[in-house]
Chains A and B, each alone.
Chain A
């Protein structure tokens, strides 16, 4: 505890000196982009200060730069520990195709409007969407035993199903190999 307080005391005394010393660094390097320090009218004693440049530690900076593209997932044998399954190497021989989202997930989403209207949405459908609708209806009839209303939007190529069936549909599509 005592050590921590000592740290803070010495900080208070030294910050002033640091503020005066830092502008010298900024002025020495006109190539370094960044904001101009208002306190750069420091005393001529900065002419003594010398800075060393190095490029060896720049690799640590490169690690900090965020990537601009979404990385490809590494190869997994079967399912990953978190439950994510990669798509099959070749698309399944069905009249429709469901692409993966840009984050490599199955595009099935649950929706809730007006606080009580539950829907499940299947996006990114290509090919014969009515065949998919028939298969989904058949599968959900086996799972729930009820005839669920569905809506097909041919313009956006999406399929809406009444009720929350996100997990069931995701597992079913993953088992098909999409």
Chain B
């Protein structure tokens, strides 16, 4: 029976506008109220009053009583919504899916650039996105040892990654650095030197300096203590990373002012000739290393 309707069509005459007809019962005429013999007289409008005469007041009017939409006072729920930082959520389930399909390489440190190159998340820095946040949906399925760097993470997500022997860091990217991080190739084609990554603003500094959030500005010893405390809270044995063969890769971390791994601020990348140009003037070096 495969392709039967196409075979039948080949033997029938040519389809023209005169040959087409809808399936019986497919098109039903619309219901028109109030026309004709038994719908006539008042034509479905009722008896006198505003209903029949079509002069009813606007929607929400309550006959003079203060209507509901004016009784309730205004409150700034959405005030300043365009000044609030947003973080695109990334579930552990999706991260595991990306690793399973080979789109994200777990043997290299996972960065926002790697996630965007794998088309795992879409970040719009112009819509007040400040990065990606790791959400712990799928933490029970997650089984991959990775070195991941995000901008925000829930406690459950941190626990799930550390339970599998990975490392998670929360670091801050200001909007310009974020735009460069997401699309490095158009930035390199511009020919500008790689800028320094700015430090977080006053309100975000406590978040990135606390060890519970694994902030990049926090003290390493405090982070170790926080890892042990979290393992005790969630009830798993904290695996020892220093004995791992990928220890060197897992311990790789970016400098506070660095945007890309291996590339310092101040360098210019020449893509057509595959070269990197570095400044030698001491004032520039001092500026870029401050």
What is A's interface to B at a CB cutoff of 8 Å?
1, 4, 7-8, 10-11, 14, 17-18, 21-22, 25-26, 28-29, 31-35, 48-55, 57-61, 63-67, 70-74, 76, 80-84, 95, 103-104, 127-131, 154-155
State whether B100 touches A32 (Cβ < 8 A). no
B263 CB contact (under 8 Å) in A22, A48, A60 = A60
Q: Which residues of the partner chain A approach B184 to less than 8 Å between Cβ atoms?
A: 61, 64-65
Q: Which residues of the partner chain A approach B275 to less than 8 Å between Cβ atoms?
A: 53-55, 58
State whether A55 touches B274 (Cβ < 8 A). yes
Complex CA–CA separation, A104 to B93 (angstroms): 17
Tell yes or no: B210 within 8 A of A by CB.
no
State whether B270 touches A31 (Cβ < 8 A). yes
State whether B283 touches A130 (Cβ < 8 A). no
State whether B2 touches A21 (Cβ < 8 A). no
Q: Which residues of the partner chain A approach B283 to less than 8 Å between Cβ atoms?
A: 17, 21
What is B's interface to A at a CB cutoff of 8 Å?
1-6, 93, 96-97, 99-103, 108, 113, 116-117, 138, 141-144, 184-185, 188-193, 199, 205, 260-263, 267-281, 283-284, 286-288, 290
State whether A60 touches B260 (Cβ < 8 A). yes
Which secondary structure characterizes the binding site on chain B? Answer: mixed
> Total A-B residue pairs with C-beta atoms closer than 8 Å?
157
State whether A52 touches B277 (Cβ < 8 A). yes
A65 with B274, Cβ < 8 A, contacts A34-B191, A83-B141, A103-B101 known: no
B261 CB contact (under 8 Å) in A50, A60, A127 = A60
Q: Which residues of the partner chain B approach A33 to less than 8 Å between Cβ atoms?
A: 189, 191, 271-272
Complex CA–CA separation, A143 to B260 (angstroms): 52
Report the minimum CB–CB distance from A99 to chain B (whole Å). 16
Report the minimum CB–CB distance from B186 to chain A (whole Å). 10
A81 with B287, Cβ < 8 A, contacts A4-B205, A29-B268, A49-B280 known: no
Complex CA–CA separation, A61 to B279 (angstroms): 18
A32 with B277, Cβ < 8 A, contacts A67-B117, A74-B102, A81-B143 known: yes
19 additional A-B pairs beyond A49-B279, A74-B102, A83-B141, beta carbons within 8 Å, are A14-B290, A25-B268, A28-B277, A29-B277, A32-B277, A49-B284, A52-B277, A52-B280, A53-B277, A59-B262, A60-B261, A60-B263, A61-B184, A64-B185, A65-B184, A66-B185, A73-B100, A104-B101, A128-B2
